[in-house]
Amino acid sequence: MRTAITRLLLPALLAWQACGSLASAQIAEDVLDFSTIGTANDPLADNTAALITALEERSANTDTRMVIYFPAGDWYFDDELPVGTHGDLTIFDNVTFIGARTGQSAQHQEEGNANAERSRTRFVIDMDGEDDIWWNQIRTYRYGPLAFSDITFQVVDVGSVFSFGDTTDLDAGEQTARALSFERCYFTHLRHFVKTDVGGGHAWMYDADAGAGVNYVLNTTNQSFSLRLHKCYDVTVRDCAFRGARYGIINSHGDRPVFDNVRGFLIGKLLDEYSVPTNAAVGSQIDDMFIETPVLAGAVITGQAGKVRAEFGYNSSGAFSTVPVGPYALPSSVEWEIDDGSSTVDFTFPGGWGYNCTDYFEPRTVIRVNPDEANEPDRYLYVTSVSATSVTFGRSEDTSYVAREISGDGAGVTRFFGTGLIVDGDRAAVMEPSLGLNQDNNDLPIAFIVPDRRPIRFGANTETSNPDPDDPTNLPVVVAACAGNAFHLHAGVDWLGSNDPADHPLVNLGGIGPKYDAGVREPFLDPLTKKQLFVPGRGIGTANDCARDLTFHRVTDSELGQDVWCYRLDNSSVGWELRNIRKSGKPVTYKIRAYVPSGTPTLGVWGGASPLNTHTLSTGWQTITGSSHGPSNAVLTDAQVTGSVVQVGGNGIYVAWVEIDQN
């Protein structure tokens, strides 16, 4: 091997530079042609030592701008790089690798051609262990920039490609990588997806002990990823494609990452974003993202995205048949429970079962639980972490608050795999999504939206959600069981456009929602009649834990012939406090739409002082109407209304809406 590095300024690179892919200073000064020290197209030639030598001599020459050029061909690497174990860690801290200039990366690129010479630059990486990472960079100081372009990274069997940052460090203020860029790169782990001899002999999801009632479980032995970013600053991933890994990009608390024209095929998740628990989410910037055939979820987005397309629902033939997507229950022999105020779902498995929660649940996906308790509605929960015996879910202190203990068996737990998007947090927005199922697949929502305090903006889907447009089970779902907590209400989801709107009390159709207020979600106001309409999620406040304890219920209105959202009044100790009455302390005429499952309960209406107006209800749906010219108990007078709050309460009563007229 050469003891001195020959630096070449190649005509081809000058032409490449003219295309404007990198700044001129990065190219013109100094370029090393790696073919002068490494060996291409020879499966027996491990180029690891040659690459280390190049980096060591670069460091010795103190040339921090040097570019290493890898000509077209296959460059074999038989092990992890010593990024964290080398005697001089700084040789990896500021590097630029470029391959032969190609067009934008595309699927099937890893197949190359039948000749030994390849028309692209490809790193063929062969590692030994499931947990191996080819480039694993953890530092106690800031480092960078690092740039990689026009390279295909192909993992032969197991392992992952790039990891930047210490994932055990949850302090948002610690040192991180700065200025990472990947352009026109292609990452392929195809064998992870379709070959049963990788990852414990199973695809990512498989029917464990088929026919024995275990149901589908996840492959926990293969956690492969292409690019993991933990607390990295100023990352750019542009014109890159990801195929076959469980995770394409993991972005954990990145600051201003840019993902531009990124594609994923046959993948678990193309993008998996989340923040460290000690700080708020830092939004990413996404422009043009295409995901085809995600197994777990197309993308989990905490930032701002434009033009995201996801195609899913393939599970009919060939490789796709080994990776089923869609809703799956747990075995009925499994039991679960959520204590009131808890953030975990606790599970009990039969003795000797052999599987636990880590086999069944994937972090940052959504599940639905159906309680055995007759008066408790289904709840969608956003899974944030998984242990052997429990699942932790997000927003447990506010919109996913469980006010009363609920429980059930595994048949009432639905796991959603293969959905197009999961949008999480108040810094998230998705404009012009294009989400579609390619096959009928009932009860698989095309997107889940997890609202936080500020409104999430979501541009309506540009496709039909299902080949059967009348199937509502594929509509997007808002993951929220109530309007907020005792201290802060949530602004909801500003829904832009008319196609496929999510049906939920926190959806603001047309992007017009209540005035942002931490304490009150104001009611609707008819600008002509000045009447106010109170519905679940509108006209509710934080006082007395009312918004937190009043869980959203779904009830079929037999007269309308459709389901409507309701509050069950006895979910809260104070009933429903109707907040922001237009004229404080003035007479109120009300109209209430109520449902009683059984019996003849008493509905009470009061305005902050005695006496209490009462109405005896009957079983079924009814509208209680009063006016200033009606019975004395139909109008709350000046003496009864002492402020801008009217309360309605009673046991076993569901209320769909209340109309308040103070004209």
Is the model's pLDDT at 60 over the cut of 90?
Answer: no
Give, in words, the CATH class of 518-663: mainly beta
At 58, give phi and psi (nearest 5°): -60, -45
Residue type, 54: A
CB 90 within 8 A of CB 134: no
> What is the pLDDT at residue 186?
92
**Listed residue (383, 457, 451, 446) closest to 420, CA to CA:** 446
Is the model's pLDDT at 278 over the cut of 90?
Answer: no
| Highest mean pLDDT, choosing among 28-32, 72-76, 316-320, 638-642 | 72-76
Secondary structure class of 437 (helix, strand, coil):
strand
What is the CATH code of the structural domain delimited by 11-189+224-282?
Answer: 2.160.20.10
Is the model's pLDDT at 640 over the cut of 80?
Answer: no
In angstroms, the CA 255 to CA 163 distance is 16
In angstroms, the CA 515 to CA 513 distance is 6
Mean pLDDT of 92-107: 80
Task: Pick the more confident residue, 149 or 102.
Answer: 149
Secondary structure element (H or E) that encloses residue 563, with its range: strand 562-568
At 505, give phi and psi (nearest 5°): -60, -25
> What is the pLDDT at residue 627?
46
Q: What is the pTM of this model?
A: 0.90
Give the list of residues 6+ apart from residue 168 with CB closer than 8 angstroms, or none.
none
CB 536 within 8 A of CB 530: no
Secondary structure class of 661 (helix, strand, coil):
strand
- N-to-C CA span, the chain: 93
Write out pLDDT tens, residues 486-536.
788 888 899 987 777 889 999 999 888 888 788 899 999 999 999 999 999
Give the list of residues 6+ apart from residue 464 with CB closer than 8 angstroms, or none.
436, 499, 500
In angstroms, the CA 215 to CA 292 distance is 25
At 394, give phi and psi (nearest 5°): -80, 165
Query: Predicted confidence band at 24 (pLDDT cuts at 50, 70, 90)?
Result: very low
In angstroms, the CA 241 to CA 263 distance is 5
Residue with tokens 């990588």: 177
Residue with tokens 């088929």: 210
Token output for 3: 């003891």
Rg (CA), the chain: 29
DSSP 203: -
* Neighbour count for residue 437 (Cβ, 10 Å): 27
Mark 490-507 as b/e (b = at least 16 C-beta within 10 Å).
bbbbbbbbeebbbebbbb
**Listed residue (323, 325, 330, 299) closest to 418, CA to CA:** 325
> What is the pLDDT at residue 217?
87
* Neighbour count for residue 210 (Cβ, 10 Å): 10
Token output for 12: 């081809």
Give the list of residues 6+ apart from residue 195 with CB closer than 8 angstroms, or none.
none
Secondary structure element (H or E) that encloses residue 611, with its range: none
Q: Is the peptide bond before 145 cis (omega within 30 degrees of 0)?
A: yes
> What is the pLDDT at residue 208?
77
Strands 67-70 and 73-77: unpaired
Is the model's pLDDT at 601 over the cut of 70?
Answer: yes
> What is the pLDDT at residue 218?
87
> What is the pLDDT at residue 4?
39
DSSP 467: S
| Cα-based torsion angle of the residue sequence 218, 224, 226, 227 in order, rounded to the nearest 10 degrees | 90
CB 310 within 8 A of CB 434: yes
Is the model's pLDDT at 158 over the cut of 90?
Answer: no
Task: Pick the more confident residue, 471 or 140.
Answer: 140
* Neighbour count for residue 221 (Cβ, 10 Å): 13
CB 228 within 8 A of CB 187: no
CA distances from 4 to 58, 65, 438, 569 (A): 10, 18, 57, 81
Burial class (CB in 10 A: 0-12, 13-18, 19+), 42: middle
Token output for 260: 């531009």
Q: What is the 3-state secondary structure (H, E, C) of 35-58?
A: HHCCCCCCCCCCCHHHHHHHHHHH
Write out pLDDT tens, residues 556-599.
998 888 899 999 999 999 999 999 888 887 788 899 999 999 99
Secondary structure element (H or E) that encloses residue 123, with its range: strand 121-125
**Listed residue (96, 100, 32) closest to 72, CA to CA:** 100
In angstroms, the CA 405 to CA 394 distance is 17
CB 32 within 8 A of CB 57: no
Q: Is the peptide bond before 476 cis (omega within 30 degrees of 0)?
A: no
CA distances from 640 to 573, 583, 635, 648 (A): 20, 13, 9, 13
Which range, of 202-211, 291-300, 569-578, 610-619, averages the lowest pLDDT? 202-211
518-663 shares the fold of 11-189+224-282: no
> What is the pLDDT at residue 21?
44
| Domain residue ranges of the chain, discontinuous segments joined by + | 11-189+224-282, 205-223+327-513, 518-663
Secondary structure element (H or E) that encloses residue 433, with its range: none
Query: Predicted confidence band at 453 (pLDDT cuts at 50, 70, 90)?
Result: confident
